[in-house]
Amino acid sequence: MVREGDSAPDFTVPKAGGDAYNDIDEFTLSDALGNGPVVLAFYPAAFTSGCTEEMCTFRDRMDEFDGLDADVYGVSVDLPPAQNVWMMENDLQFPMLSDWDHEVIRAYDVVLDDMYDLFEAAQRSVFVLDSEGTVTYRWVREGDNPDFDELASEVRDAVERTAEPETAE
C-alpha cells in the first residue's frame, strides 16, 4: 500500500490529451516530476455521473492548481480514445492517463474489484506527489462519494503545503 512519505511507484502509460479521439502520447511519471507537485486523481470510469462530477470539479478549479505550479492527471482503466471523447464532451483541460492493463491501480493499491459486480476499475482516490516523487497526501474513498468541492479544496491545500519551499533552520 502506498502511504504518505513513500516514494510513488513510477509507471509509463498512454496519456489522453483531449483534443481529438486519437490525441494520445506516452506518459512516464518520473519524467513529470521536478517542476512542482503532481496530483494523481484516480477515478473508476469515464462517462459515469460521479466521475464526471469529480473531474469537472477539478476542471472548474484548475486555476488554483495552475497557480501552485501543480500538474493534475486523471487516472482510470478506460482506453485513451474513450477518455478523449469524454474529455471533449466535458471540456476537461487536463490529461487523463490510461491504466488499461491495471498495473498502476495495483501498484498504488487502489483496485475497485467489483465495479458493477462485473470488472476491476480504479478506486476513487487522490495522491499528491512532491517534485521528488514522495507522496505528501493520500485520500482513498470509503463509503459514499465525498462532496467533490470539499475534496478539491483539501487536495489544493495539500498541494499548497507540498509546493511551499522548505525553510532553512
Return the active site residues: 51
pLDDT tens digits for 63-86?
999 999 999 999 999 999 999 999
Residue 168 belongs to a domain: no
Sign, CA torsion 154/158/152/117: negative
Structural domain range at position 116: 12-163
Domain assignment present for residue 102? The answer is yes
Determine if the pTM surpasses 0.85: yes
Which of 104, 103, 96 has the alpha carbon at shortest distance from 80? 96
**Does residue 7 lie in a domain region?**
no
Is 35 within the bounds of a domain? yes
> Which CATH number belongs to the domain containing residue 40 in this structure?
3.40.30.10
Query: Which regions in the chain score pLDDT beneath 70?
Result: 115-119, 165-169
Which residue, 103, 102, 104, is CA-closest to 120?
102
Q: Residue 148 falls within a domain, yes or no?
A: yes
Q: Is residue 22 part of a domain?
A: yes
Residue 100 lies inside a defined structural domain of this protein: yes
- The per-residue DSSP string of the chain comes to ---TTSBPPP-EEEEE-SSSTT-EEEEEHHHHTTSS-EEEEE-S-TTSHHHHHHHHHHHHTHHHHHHTT-EEEEEESS-HHHHHHHHHHHT--S-EEE-TTSHHHHHTT-EEEEETTTEEEEPSEEEEE-TTSBEEEEEE--SS---HHHHHHHHHHHHHHHHSPPPP-
pLDDT tens digit sequence for 147-165: 999 999 999 999 999 987 6
Residue 5 lies in a domain: no
* Structural domain total, the chain: 1
